[in-house]
Amino acid sequence: MKIHRDGLGTIAAIWVVCAGLMFLALFFIPWAGVSFPIAALLLFFMVFVFFFFRVPERETVEGDNVVTSVADGEVVIIDRVYEDEYVKGECIQVSVYMDFFNVHVNFWPVSGEITYYKYHPGKYLLAFLPKASELNEHTSVAVRNRFGDVFFKQLAGTFARRIVCYAKVGETCTKADQCGIIKFGSRIDMYLPLDSEIKVKVGDDVRACETVIAELRK
């Protein structure tokens, strides 16, 4: 199993803290009925953190007009909205919420040229709340190909305090390559042209690279 390079520092820090707490619990708490469960919980958390930063092997869906999911998770919003940062007009918003157990590595949804990137500091509301899209810390990225623009945001959540994004304006990206990672619970908002054919519905579980979110029309 591969581990995301941007998670190695977090894993190391958490392991050091947990190992120290396990030592204290096992050597300074004289009651085995207390110290052993504490040590077991800490060990479980260490394994979970390691598992959290896994990078899956994925096959993608071909087609320049095919938009795949940026992240694993559950579709929580599909709505017609006015997007005023990049699109500056009406579009279709599709949001995917990632819980603690989802893969949190993010992948490019289409191939094309990166035309926009911006980091926004902000709050840390629960990521599934609609207002999180506007108020939470997030990055904004746009990719353009011959079928149009795909604009998306990586949103921090209550426990997500670090967003990593590899977007650089002017460079080209390839669908299904890694575009970043959000550490701990978070959300992806995708903004698609109004004439896009949406292929998912609210409540669907989706997988990055493999689930088709929409098809663009030329």
Where in the chain are the domains? 2-55, 66-215
Please give the residue that has the higher pLDDT: either 153 or 128: 153
* pLDDT of the residue at 168: 96
Residue 207 phi/psi, 5-degree rounding, is -125, 130
Query: Of the listed 69, 133, 140, 186, which one is catalytic?
Result: 186
More confident site: 43 or 1: 43
Q: Tell me, yes or no, if 186 is annotated catalytic.
A: yes
pLDDT of residue 171: 96
Asked if the 66-215 domain carries CATH number 3.30.1330, the reply is: no
Residue 82 has pLDDT above 70, yes or no: yes
Q: Give me the pLDDT at residue 59, please.
A: 85
Q: Region 5-22: what's the mean pLDDT? A: 84
Mean pLDDT of the chain: 87
Q: Between 146 and 58, whose confidence is greater? A: 146
How far apart (Å, rounded) are the C-alpha atoms in residues 218 and 37?
A: 59
Query: Residue 82 is encoded by which pair of tokens?
Result: 């006015």
Residue 92 above 70 pLDDT? yes
Q: How far apart are CA 23 and CA 46, in angstroms?
A: 14
Of the candidate ranges 83-97, 138-152, 180-194, the one whose mean pLDDT is the lowest:
180-194
Q: How does residue 173 score in pLDDT terms, banded at 50, 70 and 90?
A: very high
Within 10 angstroms of residue 159's Cβ, the number of other Cβ atoms is 13
- 172's CB contacts (< 8 A; 6+ apart) are 111, 112, 113, 114
- Is pLDDT at 130 greater than 60 in this prediction? no
Q: What is the pLDDT of residue 105?
A: 87
Render pLDDT for 45-79 as a digit per residue (tens, 0 to 9): 888 777 777 777 888 898 999 999 999 999 999 99
> What pLDDT, on a 0 to 100 scale, did the predictor assign at position 133?
57
pLDDT at 186: 82
CB 128 within 8 A of CB 192: no
